[in-house]
Amino acid sequence: MAEIADIDHFPAATALQDHGFVVLPELLSDEELTAAVRHADSLLHGVGWSDNDFDGRRTRRVYSLLSRLGALEPLLTHPVVRRLVTARLGEVHQFGMLFLSAVDPGQGSQPLHFDAGVYPLPGEVEAETNVIWALDDFTADNGATMIAPGSHRWPSGRRPQQHELVPVVMPAGSVVVYSGRLWHAAGENRARTTRRALICEHVLPWLRPADNHTLATGVEQLLDLAPELRRLAGLAPASKYLGVVGGQDPEQWLLQATRSR
Ligand SMILES: O=C(O)CCC(=O)C(=O)O
């Protein structure tokens, strides 16, 4: 089983660097977890199974969450997770895909992959650091994410063998933070209950994120977000010359444009 780190006595950032993942157990209070699960359920309500083998034909997914974060917001801004992601990607980075994933009973294993595989970059570039929040207990039977520890350092083309995979077993309210180069997949759900998770990708600021947050969220709702989230949604320029609007910081530009309406 995947190692569970005690953040107080274990350098989580070093574990993430060395093993390609770190599990932080029970970061949420009971109240935060209950509220997050209730909100996740309201978003998942009425959503059908995905229509493709990768997302899972017995899996329900909700994408583009920024305009309806509700009680999921504290998970996206959790200080320990933010610190770890920042340690990997630097102060300025942005969200990749953000989604809820409810793996229902009968769902088989997801195809193995590493998330940063969408970017044609050399292996030594740490382009992406991702986060899976367990909204249910993750068990070896109910579809806990399967990971191949250390695979973030494997040469390109090496794929995990079955015996190299371990389930990320963790109680609800815990989180696994992992490198975008770590091989993994949602596990098979052989249990009778659903495994719900919030999955948050983070990528370097000069990459195109998997989701178009500006269009998906809408300008008015971007402005309603907390400044930290707004900038994670892509409003922070990567540099003085990359990601600007007419030479200006997009957030400042947007604030001025809406003020002068
Ligand atoms: O749900 C999970 O455990 C992992 C999902 C995943 O890796 C993905 O869809 O890219």
pLDDT digits (tens, 9 = 90+) for 101-117: 999 999 999 999 999 99
Give 87's pLDDT tier (boundaries 50, 70, 90). very high
Ligand 1 nearest-atom number relative to CA 197: 1
End-to-end CA distance of the chain: 56
Average pLDDT for the chain: 94
**What structural domains and CATH numbers belong to the chain?**
12-210 (2.60.120.620), 212-261 (no CATH)
Ligand 1 nearest-atom number relative to CA 55: 9
Ligand 1 pocket residue status of 184, Cβ below 6 Å: yes
d(Cα 257, Cα 261) in Å, to the nearest integer? Answer: 7
What pLDDT, on the 0 to 100 scale, is given for residue 3? Answer: 53
Distance in Å, CA 156 to ligand 1 centroid: 20
* Nearest alpha carbon, ligand 1 atom 7: 185
What pLDDT, on the 0 to 100 scale, is given for residue 1? Answer: 54
- Please check the confidence at residue 234 and state whether its pLDDT lies above 90: yes
Ligand 1 nearest-atom number relative to CA 103: 1
Query: Which of 132, 147, 175 is the best mutation target for the ligand 1 pocket, counting ligand atoms within 8 Å of the beta carbon and taking the most?
Result: 132
Distance in Å, CA 185 to ligand 1 centroid: 5
- Tell me the backbone φ, ψ of residue 37, rounded to 5 degrees: -65, -40
Distance in Å, CA 224 to ligand 1 centroid: 29
Ligand 1 nearest-atom number relative to CA 144: 3
For 63-209, list the strands marked E by DSSP: 94-103, 128-134, 146-147, 166-167, 175-179, 184-185, 195-203
Ligand 1 pocket residue status of 197, Cβ below 6 Å: yes
- Sign of the CA dihedral with 134 first, then 140, 145, and 149 last: positive
- Please check the confidence at residue 57 and state whether its pLDDT lies above 90: yes
> pLDDT tens-digit profile of 131-167?
999 999 999 999 999 999 999 999 999 999 999 999 9
Give 11's pLDDT tier (boundaries 50, 70, 90). confident
Three-state secondary structure of 59-91: EEEECCCHHHCHHHHHHHCCHHHHHHHHHHHCC
Distance in Å, CA 96 to ligand 1 centroid: 13
Both tokens assigned to 116:
């940063």
Both tokens assigned to 180:
């975008």
Residue 206 one-letter amino acid: W
